[in-house]
Amino acid sequence: MIRHDEANQAALRTSRILPALLVFLLGGANLCPAAAETPSGRDLYRQNCMACHGVDGTGAPASMVGFDVPLPDFTDSSFASRETAGDWVVVAREGGPARGFSEIMPAFGDALTETELLAIVNYVHTFYTDKRWARGELNLPRALVTTKAFPEDELVLSTGYRHEDPGKLSNKVIYERRLGPHNQVELIVPFGWADQSSAATNDTDWQSSIGDVGLAFKRVMFHSLETGSIVSLGAEVFAPTGDKDRRFGSDTTVFEPYLAYGQLLPLECFFQAQTGFIVPCDSQEREDEVFWRGVLGHSFFTGAYERAWSPMVEILGSKKFTSRVRTQWDIVPQIQINLNTRQHVRLGVGARIPLNDKDTRKPEYIVYLLWDWFDGGFFEGW
Ligand code: HEC
């Protein structure tokens, strides 16, 4: 009896200790009772989201869900990688309309805590497997001058006005397109109006002109959400399509190789930098130049839908190689505002203010309108 009892007790003890030991060895966190009680992102996803989004994140078939609004495919790396956890938490908390989506996507704000929503969203982000695509968190707000490291699918119309005599209004249409996980190509078409009147006449004579059309290529060399950094190499080439006499264009082909860097900082702050060269084919027409640019910014979010506002300040430096002109410095205070609910149409405004040689260089007021066309049509999601 005793033996039997003892054996029983021993068996009972082993049956408790062994699994506990195994659990401890495989991942100690599960031993903690609190952790065991909190459902994981995976469990919460299965309870709350799976019915519509499918067990694998590709979306349940329309015949099963009973509506025909297309469901997102969370396994599509090109799409899922560029969505930030923050944006998805807002959609899950407030419902589809918070980002201009269908109201069929329910609001879970009353049912789930912020921590639970984040756990689900982090789980949803494990559905896409091609980690060569940089995460959307590294896609920092676009500064007025400094080129960002993140590759984009966007269309930008930018306008600059420099209060000089005679006056000039310069615009640029920029079309950017991602090619695969790392690369981006870009077409830049500058155009504008310049006052052609001479000092002798009092009349203004504004004439339109196209500028030097540019083609650009950018490639992400490194990105990491853990360190919050992204580094890219790029090059732009501008053809002499502009009319130099009308003050548009430089009459020579110009190359601009550069290195771009983006860094997330604590407290929703960020830093971006770009450095490169401006290398004209014909140095009689334009001088070689080296430039360096830095941006420090902060994003804050207003309202339940968390509209993003990003004030930034850029410092720009450039030095011509040959001439005795000293290094030129500019400061560019500015703000980027997300205009619509989807947050894929944005406005940037600011002024490029010379810090030296102020009598020859005048401030330029710059504004851009940006449409991230990958996220939907221009008129969608307002
Ligand atoms: C009743 C069905 C349903 C449930 C349940 C549901 N969703 Fe959705 N969800 C949708 C639909 C439909 C859309 C697409 C809306 C659109 O494109 O207009 C969507 C879109 C989304 C998007 C937007 C993706 C993008 O395009 O950026 C996210 C994120 C999302 N759901 C997360 C969740 C999470 C997380 C849960 C669970 C907590 C959940 N959904 C539960 C129906 C549902």
Q: What's the pLDDT band for 7 if we cut at 50, 70, 90?
A: very low
Share of residues in the chain with pLDDT > 90 (%): 71
Share of residues in the chain with pLDDT > 70 (%): 89
Q: Are residues 118 and 260 in the same domain?
A: no
Q: Are residues 4 and 62 in the same domain?
A: no
Pocket of ligand 1 (CB under 6 A): 48-49, 51-53, 69, 71-72, 83, 88, 91-92, 96, 101-102, 104-106, 108, 120, 124
CA 101 to ligand 1: nearest atom: 18
Q: What's the pLDDT band for 264 if we cut at 50, 70, 90?
A: very high
The per-residue pLDDT for 323 is 72
Q: Report, as an integer, the average pLDDT of 262-287.
A: 94
The per-residue pLDDT for 206 is 86
Hey, what are 376's tokens? 């939907």
Residue nearest to atom 24 of ligand 1 (CA): 72
* 171-224: pLDDT as tens digits: 999 999 999 999 999 999 999 998 887 766 667 888 889 999 999 999 999 999
Q: Are residues 145 and 227 in the same domain?
A: yes
Question: Domain for residue 12, yes or no?
Answer: yes
Q: Are 209 and 248 in contact (CB under 8 A)?
A: yes
* 297-352: pLDDT as tens digits: 999 999 888 899 999 999 999 999 877 788 999 999 999 999 999 999 999 999 99
The per-residue pLDDT for 162 is 87
Question: Domain for residue 332, yes or no?
Answer: yes
Question: Domain for residue 316, yes or no?
Answer: yes
Q: How far is the CA of 29 from the centre of ligand 1 (A)?
A: 30
Question: Domain for residue 382, yes or no?
Answer: no
Q: What CA–CA distance (Å, rounded) separates 54 from 75?
A: 11
Q: What CA–CA distance (Å, rounded) separates 193 from 247?
A: 9
State the virtual CA torsion across 269, 368, 79, 47 in degrees, nearest 10: 60
Question: Domain for residue 33, yes or no?
Answer: no
Q: How far is the CA of 241 from the centre of ligand 1 (A)?
A: 48
Q: Are residues 119 and 165 in the same domain?
A: no
Q: What CA–CA distance (Å, rounded) separates 122 from 234?
A: 31
Q: Are residues 218 and 341 in the same domain?
A: yes
Split into its structural domains, the chain has a count of: 3
Question: Domain for residue 152, yes or no?
Answer: yes
Q: Is the pLDDT of residue 228 over 90?
A: yes
Q: Are residues 185 and 219 in the same domain?
A: yes
Please choose from 43, 47, 48, 53 the residue to mutate so as to test ligand 1's pocket, defined by most ligand atoms within 8 A of CB.
Answer: 53
SS (H, E, C) the chain: CHHHHHHHHHHHHHHHHHHHHHHHHHCHHHHCHHHHHCCCHHHHHHHHCHHHHCCCCCCCCHHHHCCCCCCCCCCCHHHHCCCCHHHHHHHHHHCHHHHCCCCCCCCCCCCCCHHHHHHHHHHHCCCCCCCCCCCHHHCCCCCCCCCCCCCCCEEEEEEEEECCCCCEEEEEEEEEEEECCCEEEEEEEEEEEEECCCCCCCCCCEEEEECCCEEEEEEEEEEECCCCEEEEEEEEEECCCCCHHHCCCCCCCEEEEEEEEEEEECCCEEEEEEEEEEEECCCCCCCCEEEEEEEEEECEEECCCCEEEEEEEEEEEEEECCCCCCCEEEEEEEEEEECCCCCCEEEEEEEEEECCCCCCCCCEEEEEEEECHHHCCCCCCC
Task: Look up the pTM and report it.
Answer: 0.86
Residue nearest to atom 33 of ligand 1 (CA): 92
Q: Are residues 250 and 276 in the same domain?
A: yes
Q: Are residues 67 and 203 in the same domain?
A: no
Q: How far is the CA of 95 from the centre of ligand 1 (A)?
A: 8
Question: Domain for residue 370, yes or no?
Answer: yes
* 67-108: pLDDT as tens digits: 999 999 999 999 999 999 999 999 999 999 999 899 999 999
Question: Domain for residue 210, yes or no?
Answer: yes
Q: Is the pLDDT of residue 29 over 50?
A: no
Q: Are 350 and 159 in contact (CB under 8 A)?
A: no
Domain that holds residue 43: 38-124
* 42-73: pLDDT as tens digits: 999 999 999 999 999 999 998 899 999 999 99
CA 69 to ligand 1: nearest atom: 12
